[in-house]
Amino acid sequence: MKSKLLLMVLLLFTSFAFSQTLDVTGTVLDGSGLSLPGVNVKVKSSSQSTTTDFDGSFKLSGLPKGTTIVFSYIGFRTQEVVVSGTKITVKMSDDARSLDEVVVIGYGSQKKREVTGAVSVLDSKTLDILKPARIEQALQGTISGVNVTTQSGAPGAPIDVRIRGIATNGQNGPTTIIDGYVGELNVLNPNDIESITVLKDAQAAIYGTIGANGIILVTTKMGKKNSKTKISFNSYTGFQEASTKLSILNATEYALLLNESYANGGKALPYPNVSGLGKGTDWQKEVLGKGVPLLNSDLTISGGSEKITYSISGSHLDQQGIVGGDKSGYLRNTARIGLGVDLSDKIKLKTNVIYTYFNRKTINENGLGSVLFNALNVPATLSPYDANGNFTLVPSTTGFGTEIINPLAQIENTYNDYNYKKLNGNFGLDYKIFKGFVLSSSIGFNTANSENKTFDPQISYGGKVFDVQRSSVTQRTVNDNDYSFDIYATYNTKIADNHNITATLGNTIYKQWGNSAVATGFDVPNNSWEFADLSLTKGLPTALNTGGYVYDQRRISYFGRAQYDYKGKYLFSAMIRRDSSTKFGPGNKVGYFPSFTAGWVVSDEGFFGESQTLNFLKFRASYGTLGNDQIPNNGYLSILNGEATYVFDGVLVNGIATGQIPNENLKWEEAKKFDVGLDLKLFNDKFSVVADYFIDTRKDLLIPNIPVSGIIGVGAPGASAPTMNAGTVRNSGFEFAIDYKEKFSDSFSMSLGYNVTFLKNEVLEVNNGTGFIEQGAFGVGQPAAARMEAGKPIGYFYGYITDGIFQNQAEVDAHPSQLALGANASAGDIRYKDINNDGLIDTKDRTDIGDPIADATMGFNIQLNYKNLDFAVYTFASVGNDMVRNYERVLSDANRLDYVLDRWTGEGTSTTVPKVTTGATANNVLSDYFVEDASYLRIQNVQLGYTINPKVTQKAGITKLRLYTGVNNLYTFTKYKGFDPGASFGPTNQDGVSQSPIGAGIDYGFYPVPRTYLLGLNINF
């Protein structure tokens, strides 16, 4: 009896012990001991969860002893803590590159350790440090294989992104996918972005015909479940200036040199008395502003409950240009709302809607007659204003030509205004039909409207090509729309604990349509911008003054992907996409794009052991076919969109004619992508290494304006030669990235990153009858400056090779005649090589004299944290890219860069710079004399920040207050003489849409990227 009673007492106490629950409170800290708000705190194997509040604290009720709590936060290693008492303090360690990090790969995601393609990720932390005005700028130097070039440093100017080289003469830019729909990077506020994922190889084949140039996947920020409302305000202000000035002759130097030039040409001296000229006008100083303002602010409100997450944000950017004063500027406003709702345990709704408005004002940039072109060529002897206060006229004598004008007058009479409004986003549903099987659907949309107004006042610059006889205003409106509907099913299952399978099957429908109208009105009232409106112009046109277009295209696609792994160490993936597009004729509408990837996690093998040095090793490979259809619509049809003038009853009548010559055999451009790589972690994950070797072969290039028989007219306005599949280009190379992270103490940590990409670009064939395609301009009236030709890089420069300077007449007599180049040579002139050894220097001696494609690009980045201080430096380098110096007008009276002071003045004085003369010479033909190595190293960003101790700021309800200062584009190390060795801008193709790489790298005086000094703050409530 006593034993039974004792047993009952023991059972009672045991039952009480097991049924005892605790209310657990705690605090979560980061590595430096600061409170960490927004951490997800979840009871393992339960739906119970919460997030830490502004001071890093949390509370969970009714937990049995022994319960495991999981703490997770982006950028930190997930930790598990077993409940043993009522109070917990957790210190989370940084682990931004954790192998368990989830990576978006398109229509799904994978753990980083399981990814078998060449995939790179840029997180919001890096964006926060770089503070780019445009998101594209943040990709430069931070991701291997990605090269970013500016078309201009003007505010809001287009930025070109190239992934693993340039492969086609048409559209080379990657496709951007924002939360699942096709979008554009330039409409986003950088602070709205959670991460950017770049798909560089056959992994992008799931996107089929839009994936050949690579895919950029953008994930925007969302609120977190069970978290209090968080308010984040970020703002910075600053000022801008030109990062460099060119060394131009001052007034006295110019006058002396011009006298010498005229004397060598047998002419009277233009400046008999040079005393008193001094330095004269610094035209660069006149047009380049200093202390030009910049302001950016954004506000985000986010949070969530058990069923709903939300993120609402707005931003404002106002950036004035460093050239042109108030005639050059960019203002952008964005508003965004992201919402996630659990409608039930099985159905989830998600939506993301973004509104963008921007206004851009522009001046004449990057061309013959641009503002900077004029500032470099107008001599310092001329004053900006005459005695009456009017703009000084540049003489219209032969020595100055007809295109050099006063750049200040040019700015004053420039009126370009562009407004753009865009609403884009998506609405999606996820339906969990049963365990492991999810049906997802999404509707994405873009609708954009833009208005552009250009006013040309009646003005005379003294007999120049820029003279305007009749004032006019041109107004253009554009309406562009698209929508996409995606529906796909994802099934995950595990077989026998070791075999993991994920299958995805789906369908995409895409439609794009729009229209445009443009008209020009003449004789603007009062010759004034205030009255520049079509409704007020009454002047009769002398030619067709209206135009526009309308378009409609559609694409329907089916895709599937199967992913398999065995024990997480043998990884396989196969995918295929079928696209059907209205851009191609009946026989070529459909394309199939398959790819395969595989990986082997060697470090999971038993024979690998527990290495203390090598912690993780994965080999991977991929091969697949992707497509490119980025050309205008209806290239296979004959359309009446050309212009023509007809005679009816003796009267000229404006009418229409056929436009581009059709090509019914037009088909997809195909990219065969091969990649092998490895991922490696060393020394307790302190070192992370990623290496890849790749070959990208682009076949059936879609090349616009292929020359055809002269019998078929293509010279009329609106008419053009056809777009054809006419070439093959191969890009091959090697990428390497290494990162190092070390936490030396609770007070001091450091991270270093270095990446390099080696690239070889080669054209394999050009099937257009001539074997080459020419584009790009140099000087005035000279042959095309660049070519696409088999065996050479695309867009290589085509000209003459120099062989020093003739030192005397005997050397001239002994050399083949150069008369075919425009003039007999004499002592002091440039000597050209006889490439074909026919005893004559002529056009047959033109050859490869350089190319604009870099042999290697690299980035080096460092971040330091000491207590509350943080410091970061980001750099980028480009090696082996050439540029053509074309901003010097070779007219006799134009100004010069001061390198001409080292000119030839007699035998033995110079072997590199020819004499100056007004006489006829062949010194100004395109040769390697005008081609420079534009390799450079740029300190892109330097930032120093200080976070005020949260114990102080929390008294005001502020969880984080960080102040920082920084400089963007601090300094560029280069031997290139021009403004910006990193700029590149090719001519517009005949299709009027794409930019050609044939002719890129020819510098007319690129608008320089400004140096920006910033002062800002981050506040979280």
Q: How sure is the predictor about 991, in pLDDT bands with cuts at 50, 70 and 90?
A: low
Please count the other Cβ atoms lying within 10 Å of the Cβ belonging to residue 888.
22
- Scan for tokens 């009858």, then name that residue: 769
Q: Which two tokens stand for residue 53?
A: 């509040």
Q: Which residue is associated with the tokens 């159905």?
A: 347
Residue 744 to residue 742: CA distance in whole angstroms: 6
Amino acid symbol at 941: N
DSSP string for 402-415: TT---HHHHHHT-E
Structure tokens at 392: 């000084």
Least confident of 34-38, 165-169, 720-724: 34-38
Q: Scan for tokens 């708000």, then name that residue.
A: 37
Is residue 421 a contact partner of residue 449, using CB atoms and an 8 Å limit? Answer: yes
**pLDDT of 381 over the 50 cut:** yes
What average pLDDT is seen over the chain? 89
Which residue carries 């030619």 as its tokens? 543
Contacts of 335 (CB under 8 A, 6+ apart): 313, 314, 354, 355
pLDDT of 1013 > 90? The answer is yes
Tens of pLDDT, residue by residue over 897-907, are 999 999 999 99
The pLDDT score that the predictor gives to residue 129 is 85
H-only helix segments in 271-378: 283-287, 371-377
Summarize the confidence of residues 1-24 as an average pLDDT. Answer: 52
Range with lowest mean pLDDT among 222-231, 508-517, 669-678, 716-725: 716-725
Tell me what pLDDT residue 959 has.
86
Counting every residue written for the chain, the total comes to 1021
- Asked if residue 522 lies in contact with residue 472, where contact means CB atoms within 8 angstroms, the answer is yes
pLDDT in tens, 906-938: 999 999 999 999 999 999 999 999 999 999 999
Q: 878 pLDDT exceeds 90?
A: yes
Percent of the chain at pLDDT > 70 equals 95
Name the strands in the sheet holding 49-51, side by side, starting at the edge strand that comes first in the sequence. 49-51, 40-43, 68-72, 79-82
DSSP helix/strand/coil, 458: coil
Helix, strand, coil share (%) of the chain residues, nearest 5: 10, 50, 40
What sign for the dihedral angle of Cα 910, 912, 917, 921?
positive
Nearest CA among 176, 179, 193 for reference residue 132 = 193
CB 557 within 8 A of CB 577: yes
User: How many degrees, rounded to 5, is the angle at CA 19 between CA 17 and CA 24?
Assistant: 95
26: β partners = 58, 88
Question: At residue 659, does pLDDT exceed 90?
Answer: no
Reported confidence tier of residue 715, pLDDT bands at 50, 70, 90: low
Full-model pTM: 0.88
- For residue 422, give both structure tokens: 């865009």
Residues 6 or more apart whose CB falls under 8 angstroms from that of 27 comprise 35, 52, 55, 56, 57, 58, 88, 89, 90
pLDDT at 9: 44
387-422 confidence digits (pLDDT tens): 999 999 999 888 888 889 999 999 999 999 999 999
Mean pLDDT of 711-719: 62
**Amino acid in the structure at residue 373:** F
Q: What are phi and psi of 262, to 5 degrees?
A: -65, -40
Beta strands 882-885; 1002-1003: pairing state:
parallel
Helix (H, G, I), strand (E, B) or coil at 321: coil
Dist CA 888 CA 1005 (whole Å) = 9
Other CB atoms within a 10 A radius of the CB of residue 969 amount to 22
Cα–Cα distance list, 932 to 667, 689, 734 (Å): 39, 34, 25
DSSP 8-class letter at 270: S
CA angle in degrees (0–180, nearest 5) for 384-416-366: 65
> Among residues 747, 737, 722, which one has the least CA distance to residue 636?
722
